[in-house]
Amino acid sequence: MTFDTVSLVAQQVQGGGIGIGFYLIMGAAFLLSMAVSSMLKRRFAEYSQIPMRMTGAQVAEAMLHQNGIRDVQVVSVPGQLTDHYNPANKTVNLSEPVYHANSVAAAAVAAHECGHAVQHQQAYAWLGFRSAMVPLVNIASTIQGFLMMGGIGVMVTMGSPMLLWVWAAAFCVTAAFAVITLPVEFDASRRALAWMEKSGISNQMEHERAKNALFWAAMTYVVGALGAVAQAVYLLMHLFAQRQGEERQ
């Protein structure tokens, strides 16, 4: 971080506030996230119309069994795009549309979540790091929510460096979690696609569409990570600029 960069950030800061740049980053991240989410929903809606011979639940069961995993249960959960793997109780949780549907989209999602189960079975390091961070991330998210609702006014009117440091630390934790999540998600998709091709449950056209669906799902994590890192960096730059300004006085 150069002195000129810090000085530029310092010029953007008014009083004890965090500067308009932070809100611009938040706005840009939100808009980009909405655009990627919209594309993801369109792709899944499109690929949900392309039939396959197996339901999402059957795909999940087959992938687990062919990887020698017998202690993971496949269950149906309410909602849409609520699919996830829970390492705590070893369950592949598939949303109702994915669990019951026999489509390319359902197969891709089911195989991806089973990719996490395979990661767990093989003690994939990045999954272990992410799981270990969950309690800390929950605390950081609570702090962020509290300060977002009630703390910004205090920071702007009173210029509280303590709250800013706490807020920046919370953003750093969530940003680190978002970055660690990336290799976990990309690897799960890689495992899913490799298994779908090897097992022969999808032809070339279906495989390419499953790959595209998982690509857009992964992009939601990429956008989230970029936004989290950008906000954390901005806050840290502001705090260091503020400290340098105080030292010159």
Q: Assign 196 a pLDDT band (cuts: 50, 70, 90).
A: very high
Q: Assign 17 a pLDDT band (cuts: 50, 70, 90).
A: low
Quote the number of domains for the chain: 1
The mean pLDDT of 209-216, rounded to a whole number, is 94
Q: Give the whole-angstrom CA distance, residue 195 versus residue 192.
A: 5
pTM over 0.75: yes
- What's the burial of 116, exposed, middle or buried (CB within 10 Å: 0-12/13-18/19+)? buried
CA angle in degrees (0–180, nearest 5) for 212-217-221: 135
Say if 229 falls within a structural domain: yes
**Out of 46, 61, 96, 113, which one is annotated catalytic?**
113
The mean pLDDT of 164-169, rounded to a whole number, is 82
Say if 123 falls within a structural domain: yes
Concatenating the DSSP letter of every residue in 83-149 gives: -EEETTTTEEEEEHHHHH--BHHHHHHHHHHHHHHHHHHTT-HHHHHHHHHHHHHHHHHHHHHHIII
Range of the domain at 140: 3-50+104-248
Choose the weakest-confidence range: 1-10, 37-46, 47-56: 1-10
Say if 24 falls within a structural domain: yes
Say if 99 falls within a structural domain: no
Is the pLDDT at 57 greater than 80? The verdict is yes
- What's the burial of 80, exposed, middle or buried (CB within 10 Å: 0-12/13-18/19+)? exposed
Say if 167 falls within a structural domain: yes
Say if 76 falls within a structural domain: no
Say if 78 falls within a structural domain: no
CB atoms under 10 Å from CB of 139, counted, come to 11
Say if 56 falls within a structural domain: no
User: Does residue 113 carry a catalytic annotation?
Assistant: yes
